[in-house]
Structure 1
């Protein structure tokens, strides 16, 4: 698996900015933010809160003795207060992140390199499978510190002419601009053609060849807002829509929610009638088999990268992420239904264990040997890694059997 590395210009800009604007206890802030982001849950819907409140109310009525000398109004108030107190203590309270100038610097030190690694891996999926795709325009929703622009420029820098970066935080747009200028306001941008906006354009008349949203869906406060945003992003997509999130259960669920929104349509304002096709990682457009099971293990992948040069960082980190890519109509090679490796490939003497998601919408466990499957496929399977596609259709596999340890590699 190839190691990713932020461009030297981006690394140098981070060092310049953090030297100019000293952040006290930066290491502690980075560790705290990283832990928070990876444990963050999605915001509860009003309907879910009401259901929880009704369950608690029934529970308290059945199990709690309310003093007989209280009148009906006092009893109702006590029951209401008990329910509210329990909700405050036992319900996850989602809050939007406040991207101040100081917080932006901490976020830059925490997520710039890992976000770049995940986005680069996702974009390379398009680059490798559709080499004729040469985008000229890019829209990045929730652009943050600019990881998407740096990753896309590294792949399609010769063809990309316009980058539309959209982030609701003015301070993050300013910070991203400074990174592009090497940390100095007076310097030229390393990547030309970048423009910043705080609001998502909703008109379908202007489309972008490539639309990306990375680590942004959990910043939206409810399903209605996520649905509107996803529909707008698809409306603005002329070629590919790429969505990337944390490789957690929450991140994967948010992506599968977005997948349903795009595939089922329902947008009242349709200008481009080319159908939505799942380009990657799924080899099918059926329900995700990992969500269908009782365990609901997230479908995620890992990407090694060299982190920013801080004293507390090791030489190699691993970014665990989930992603989904949509294309406007069928695009690329005819082998779209090749199985996808959805876990580590276990090489054993004279056989290989592969866990894949297949075109039938099911998870399969393959035991590949040279004698049974041929030397070419056996050698290919031994070289495959987590996230790769297996260039073959294998009939003798065990559906539903997932035998691998999904622990995150040591960073």
Structure 2
């Protein structure tokens, strides 16, 4: 399993970019950029080197952790998956590419797409001395335009980017992403009801186009959850000193909520159930909310069933069981 914390060489590269930068200025820019994101403004607020670095310090650790958690879930279902090529669409500072190269040592070629010049510059600086990403190709421009010209890849990733475009554009982008997927497409979004809704819409569209769900769902049918419930997961990550300073936080960790779907061209197979919330462990029993091939259910494991109870005590939110 790949660690949710940023790899050492990425931390070193970020720290090197911090030399001479005012932490107060970075914190101020990070707050402004985060506000723009919450209002649906996307990356348009990131215009300068300081903007890009502030964004990376504030958001890169959590985004990386969410992508790693999604890739870990995929690898658990597909232990033989060894992609050689990667397309990172909406790459930003290269977060998903770093996560994918940590998760899959088989990757040999990585291509990144984004329309933001400041983020591309930062991504290239961070990858410059990397042993894994030094030869990455980063193309600047609109995602669909670049996808139309791209070679297909074994793994295509779009993380935290489909929420930045309109609904009609999302459908066209989903089709373009799938058309360039040789094997698996991973889409990750914030773990909000809106993020979940975007994932579910894309999931339904691409299943209709022939895709099969690899993770997290144990089936290809419509999501059985009923509003106001929604499918999302949580990944805890440790905050570095710089991360805490930029976020103005004292707590040494952060819990990133995210929603995701991994879609594959492989034939349909049976998958294990998925834990949809942190199980409630009591003295008499453990109650766990599971998404199963037959729908959502609350499974209760009595303490007297010692082996099953001991196994269920190890279940965590997001686990395949």
State the shift of 1:188 in Å: 6.6
Alignment of 1:196 with 2:138, yes or no, is yes
- Partners of 2:32 and 2:177 in 1: how far apart? 31
Q: Which residue of 1 aligns with 2:169?
A: 225
Alignment of 1:14 with 2:14, yes or no, is yes
Alignment of 1:180 with 2:127, yes or no, is yes
- Partners of 1:131 and 1:96 in 2: how far apart? 35
Q: Which residue of 2 aligns with 1:278?
A: 213
Q: Which residue of 2 aligns with 1:340?
A: 274
Task: Show CA shifts across 1:383-409 (max 9, x none).
Answer: 10000122xxxxxxxxxxxxxxxxxxx
The 5 A counterparts of 1:5-404 are 5-22=5-22, 24-34=24-34, 37=37, 39-40=38-39, 97-101=44-48, 102-157=50-105, 159-181=106-128, 191-199=133-141, 200=143, 201-203=146-148, 206-220=151-165, 222-265=166-209, 275-290=210-225, 293=226, 295-310=227-242, 311=245, 312-313=248-249, 314-330=251-267, 335-336=270-271, 338-360=272-294, 362-371=295-304, 374-390=305-321
Structure 1: which 5+ residue stretches go unaligned?
42-93, 182-186, 266-274, 391-411
- Partners of 2:42 and 2:154 in 1: how far apart? 33
Task: Show CA shifts across 1:48-80 (max 9, x none).
Answer: xxxxxxxxxxxxxxxxxxxxxxxxxxxxxxxxx
- Partners of 1:160 and 1:17 in 2: how far apart? 26
Q: Is the 8 A contact 1:117 1:305 kept in 2?
A: yes
Q: Which has the larger radius of gyration?
A: 1
Q: Is the 8 A contact 1:173 1:196 kept in 2?
A: yes
- Partners of 1:27 and 1:204 in 2: how far apart? 38
- Partners of 1:287 and 1:377 in 2: how far apart? 30
Q: Is the 8 A contact 2:66 2:256 kept in 1?
A: yes
Divergent runs of 4+, >4 A: 187-190
Indicate the structure whose relative CO is greater, using CA pairs within 8 Å and at least 6 residues apart.
2
Change in CA separation of 1:348 and 1:36 when aligned onto 2, cut-off 3 Å:
farther
- Partners of 1:375 and 1:156 in 2: how far apart? 37
Q: Is the 8 A contact 2:289 2:297 kept in 1?
A: yes
- Partners of 2:34 and 2:168 in 1: how far apart? 27
Q: Is the 8 A contact 1:3 1:303 kept in 2?
A: no
Count of aligned pairs between the two proteins? 312
Q: Which residue of 2 aligns with 1:407?
A: none
What is the Cα-based RMSD across aligned positions, in Å?
A: 2.4
Q: Is the 8 A contact 1:244 1:321 kept in 2?
A: yes
Tell me the TM-score normalized by structure 1.
0.70
Tell me the TM-score normalized by structure 2.
0.89
Structure 2: which 5+ residue stretches go unaligned?
none
Q: Is the 8 A contact 1:161 1:192 kept in 2?
A: no
- Partners of 2:17 and 2:196 in 1: how far apart? 33
- Partners of 1:177 and 1:189 in 2: how far apart? 13
Q: Is the 8 A contact 1:3 1:304 kept in 2?
A: no
Q: Which residue of 2 aligns with 1:60?
A: none
